[in-house]
């Protein structure tokens, strides 16, 4: 019995090359490849000026600083001269107790300030996420410290910490009955500098975490509510796991900024009292521009950059390992 409908014909298979070699490319394919190569060359031609500028202002200073860190540099009347290449700058650096103290202080300062800012910033973001019409006003108020230039905010905090007329000194004196030297003693000076940094940078973390919060899917929260989860369980089991990538970005940015802190201690304490608040960046500045030891100063800058890069790579590796472990589980 026939239906009167003709069967669809299968597409013809390409015949194998009797010679056994690669299939021949048509003239259209060859023409398309030529056009793509010409477009690629045109693209490199247009981007070459910007790449040269980026290389000049970014890559060249890094390479030049690396060369200086391995050089014995002598100050001359018209600048400086490189006498020889040497490892002496790094040997002197690794035998310097001031460098070890600056390294320990920078690591301690970075860990404490970033941890506190992440906790406070996440709490502020959770509050702002639940606000309605007032969220914009609260965000604008939070951005005031973050938008302030660090030199200006450091000077403001120096006024408040001043032992003669500072409002914070007056408040502590009213409570304890004695006049504190906040910036004149090591431990209070370190704490005062951390407070100034946390006040300025916590809004940055809060804005990033809030951006991640508003992007979370609502159906997950509805499912948690149906399952009877309370607010605490919902935060730890639903919100925080989904915010890990957002918080990781905030932590990464803050590590980069906190480890290279310079303007805040330079204006607020000058690295003092003594070297109590001297970070690696401040030490590099003093060695390089005040003592005019160009080679050791470049060695401080190079080791600081390598330590920051290593810390960020370790953090990202640990974060990826944690995410991969959870996906497998």
* pLDDT tens digits for range 78-131: 778 888 888 888 998 889 899 999 999 999 999 999 999 999 999 999 888 888
For residue 9, tell me if it sits in a domain.
Answer: no
Residue 47's H or E segment, with its range, is helix 27-54
Question: What pLDDT was estimated at residue 326?
Answer: 61
For residue 18, tell me if it sits in a domain.
Answer: no
Q: Which long-range contacts (CB under 8 A, 24 or more apart) does 297-302 make?
A: 298/65, 298/66, 298/68, 298/69, 298/71, 298/89, 299/69, 299/89, 299/90, 299/92, 299/93, 300/93, 300/99, 301/65, 301/69, 302/65, 302/66, 302/69
The reply to whether 119 and 105 lie within a common domain is: yes
Residue 292 has pLDDT above 80, yes or no: yes
* Distance (Å, whole) CA 15 – CA 181: 90
The reply to whether 114 and 73 lie within a common domain is: no
The reply to whether 157 and 208 lie within a common domain is: yes
DSSP, residue by residue, 262-316: -HHHHHHTTT-STTTT--HHHHHHIIIIIS--HHHHHHHHHHHHHHHHHHHHHHH
The reply to whether 158 and 78 lie within a common domain is: no
Question: What pLDDT was estimated at residue 5?
Answer: 41
Q: How many domains does the chain have?
A: 2
Question: What pLDDT was estimated at residue 4?
Answer: 41
pLDDT tens for 200-221 read 999 999 989 988 888 888 888 8
- Residue range of the domain that includes 53: 34-85
Written as six digits, the tokens of 222 are 């509805």
The reply to whether 169 and 103 lie within a common domain is: yes
Better pLDDT: 26 or 167: 167
The reply to whether 70 and 187 lie within a common domain is: no
User: Tokens 């010409």 — which residue?
Assistant: 38
For residue 312, tell me if it sits in a domain.
Answer: yes
Question: What pLDDT was estimated at residue 17?
Answer: 52
Other Cβ atoms within 10 Å of 320 Cβ, number: 11
Written as six digits, the tokens of 70 are 């391995």
How much is the average pLDDT of 138-146?
A: 84
3-state secondary structure of 184: coil
The reply to whether 73 and 114 lie within a common domain is: no
The reply to whether 66 and 103 lie within a common domain is: no
Other Cβ atoms within 10 Å of 205 Cβ, number: 28
The reply to whether 81 and 92 lie within a common domain is: no
The reply to whether 62 and 157 lie within a common domain is: no
The reply to whether 249 and 233 lie within a common domain is: yes
145 preceded by a cis bond (ω within 30 of 0): no
Confidence of residue 293 (pLDDT cuts 50, 70, 90): confident
């Amino acid at each position: 019995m026939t239906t009167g409908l003709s069967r669809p014909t299968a597409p013809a298979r390409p015949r194998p090359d009797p010679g056994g070699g690669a299939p021949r490319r048509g003239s259209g394919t060859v023409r398309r490849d030529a056009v793509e190569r010409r477009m690629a060359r045109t693209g490199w031609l247009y981007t070459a000026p910007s790449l040269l500028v980026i290389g000049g202002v970014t890559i060249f200073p890094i390479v030049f600083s690396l060369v200086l860190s391995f050089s014995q540099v002598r100050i001359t009347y018209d600048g400086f001269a490189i006498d020889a290449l040497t490892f002496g700058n790094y040997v002197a650096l690794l035998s310097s107790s001031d460098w070890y103290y600056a390294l320990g202080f920078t690591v301690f300062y970075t860990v404490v300030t970033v941890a506190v800012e992440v906790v406070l910033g996440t709490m502020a973001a959770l509050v702002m996420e639940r606000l309605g019409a007032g969220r914009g006003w609260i965000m604008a108020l939070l951005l005031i410290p973050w938008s302030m230039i660090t030199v200006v905010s450091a000077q403001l905090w120096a006024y408040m910490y001043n032992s003669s007329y500072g409002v914070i000194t007056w408040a502590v004196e009213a409570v304890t009955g004695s006049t504190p030297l906040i910036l004149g003693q090591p431990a209070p000076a370190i704490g005062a500098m951390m407070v100034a940094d946390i006040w300025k940078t916590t809004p940055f973390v809060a804005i990033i975490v809030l951006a991640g919060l508003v992007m979370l899917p609502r159906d997950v929260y509805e499912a948690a509510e149906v399952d009877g989860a309370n607010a605490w369980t919902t935060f730890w089991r639903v919100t925080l796991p989904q915010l890990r990538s957002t918080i990781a970005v905030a932590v990464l940015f803050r590590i980069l900024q906190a480890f290279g802190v310079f303007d805040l201690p330079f204006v607020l304490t000058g690295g003092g009292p003594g070297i109590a608040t001297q970070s690696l960046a401040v030490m590099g500045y003093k060695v390089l521009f005040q003592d005019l030891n160009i080679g050791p100063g470049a060695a401080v800058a190079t080791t600081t950059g390598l330590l920051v890069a290593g810390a960020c790579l370790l953090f990202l590796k640990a974060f990826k390992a944690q995410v991969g472990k959870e996906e497998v589980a």
